[in-house]
């Protein structure tokens, strides 16, 4: 059987990770990121091809080569995310999954960074998870390629146990019946079971809840102020309408990870592209399906008990 191959592309200035504005981007270098990815991929029998360039043309050439040579692409296009239609078009041609990564939460930064030309052609988008976002992207790529997890790989470093409140908003109780052509056939019960299994694997305590009530979700968010180490939330439609829920989550001193089953940036309704939650979230994961919840828990386990 041919070894799966994943292309990892990094754009302008990412060769300066670790030195570039460390207050924003952290102290981890791109070499260290690549080493972590290599170790994870090797344990799973997957080949990685790393490329970084400050040239738009070189990145376009690499994306075009990926049409026949790789099984998935992970890309952090850096500043080109917000300017390059040509790179977007090259990625849009690919017949393989494309996972966009940003170290910082671009939705919480300068207005010109809020729109990425890449996001609407990506399969999934992970922002704000720091350099751990690359590992989450690789995990999702391997999931899409049906690469089994290594038995001995917990996927996280040694950290103290953490607790997470996992919230799902309106109409998610009807997953599996609600527009399955968009949301798939997975039910919320199946997601909850996967969350429980992943939490047990990671040593994370997960309290899983769903409500169609804005007030109940606000109450739960307020409760998280002192009772949990992190909040994982799929606010569903309330993402785009609820200022009270946004304000409740903004008050929290713990990480808030927003999850959406679909890639909301690729949805046809323009209002779906503008979540009120994203700018105040620590990290945002969209388009990873039910796996997005598991990726969020992996990030909770990776960061450990932490108050922001």
Query: Which residues belong to the active site?
Result: 25, 102
Pairwise CA distance, residues 201 & 111, whole Å: 39
* Cβ–Cβ < 8 Å for 79, 16: no
Of residues 268, 257, 240, the one with CA closest to residue 292: 257
Pairwise CA distance, residues 286 & 234, whole Å: 10
Q: Token pair for residue 127?
A: 């922002």
What radius of gyration, in Å, describes the C-alpha atoms of the chain? 18
Cα 93 to its chain centre, rounded Å, is: 22
> Do β-strands 72-76 and 98-102 pair in parallel, antiparallel, or remain unpaired?
parallel
Residue 118: which residues within 8 A CB-CB, separation 6 or more? Answer: 75, 77, 81, 87, 88, 91, 98, 100
User: Burial level of 52, CB count in 10 A (0-12/13-18/19+)?
Assistant: buried
């Amino acid at each position: 059987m041919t070894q799966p191959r994943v292309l990892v592309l990094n754009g302008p200035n990412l060769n300066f990770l670790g030195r570039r504005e460390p207050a924003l981007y952290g102290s981890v270098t791109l070499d260290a990121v690549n080493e972590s990815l290599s170790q994870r991929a090797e344990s799973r029998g997957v080949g990685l091809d790393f490329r970084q360039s400050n040239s738009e043309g070189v990145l376009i050439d690499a994306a075009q080569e990926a049409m026949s040579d790789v099984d998935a692409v992970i890309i952090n296009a850096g500043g080109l995310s917000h300017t390059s239609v040509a790179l977007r078009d090259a990625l849009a041609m690919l017949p393989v999954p494309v996972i966009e990564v940003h170290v910082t939460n671009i939705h919480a930064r300068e207005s010109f960074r809020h729109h990425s030309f890449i996001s609407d052609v990506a399969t999934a988008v992970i922002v704000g998870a720091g350099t751990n976002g690359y590992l989450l992207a690789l995990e999702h790529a391997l999931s899409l390629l049906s690469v089994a997890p290594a038995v001995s790989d917990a996927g996280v470093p040694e950290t103290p146990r953490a607790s997470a409140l996992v919230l799902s908003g309106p109409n998610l109780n009807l997953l599996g019946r609600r527009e399955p052509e968009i949301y798939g056939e997975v039910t919320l019960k199946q997601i909850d079971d996967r969350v429980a299994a992943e939490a047990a694997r990671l040593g994370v305590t997960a309290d899983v809840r769903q409500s169609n009530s804005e007030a109940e979700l606000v109450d739960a968010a307020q409760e998280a102020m002192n009772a949990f180490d992190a909040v994982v939330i799929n606010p569903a439609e309330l993402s785009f309408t609820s200022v009270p829920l946004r304000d409740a989550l903004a008050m929290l001193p713990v990480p808030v990870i927003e999850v959406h089953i679909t890639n909301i940036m690729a949805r046809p309704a323009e209002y779906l592209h503008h979540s009120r939650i994203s700018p105040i979230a620590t990290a945002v994961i969209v388009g990873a399906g039910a796996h997005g919840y598991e990726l969020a828990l992996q990030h909770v386990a990776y960061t450990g008990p932490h108050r922001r």
